Amino acid sequence: MMEVSKETYYKRTPEWGGKNTVRGDLTNQRKVAEICEKTWNCKFHQYAHFDTLDWWIERDGRTVAFAELKTSFKNKDFSILNFRKYIGAMWIRHASNKPVFIMFLNGNGDIFYEDVINIQGETKITGSKHLKSINDIEPALHINLNSLKKV
């Protein structure tokens, strides 16, 4: 099982032009990519920090899929996917006709995933009351992790 970087949201300082990404996020992304590369016999290529998704995935010299990772620092039975990410992932899925895996790293190190076209959830207004950006409270899909596949 993977050890999850335990940085908390409230300790984040915006980097890379105001995006709330910290070293813990990048560390978790690298660890998840390494695990998935070994499990799925493929190569995860990191997108730039401002792109819609985290990775494009290659096997045998061809793009076979795309992926986005959402991390929870707590062990929960659900996760959220904001509508900006959801719409971007659906657009890429439609344009490429390739799977777009929405991946969730739980606080205990479990990695869940599903192709965005199969994601189902309840629309809720989610976010933090400790505002650090204009998008801290917004509509999102509330997704039960038990409905997803596990790496």
- pLDDT tens-digit profile of 36-79? 999 999 999 999 876 889 999 999 999 999 999 988 777 888 99
**How many other CB atoms sit within 10 Å of the CB of residue 144?**
13
**How many other CB atoms sit within 10 Å of the CB of residue 137?**
13
* Predicted TM-score (pTM) above 0.85: no
Rounded Cα–Cα distance for residues 82 and 142 (Å)? 9
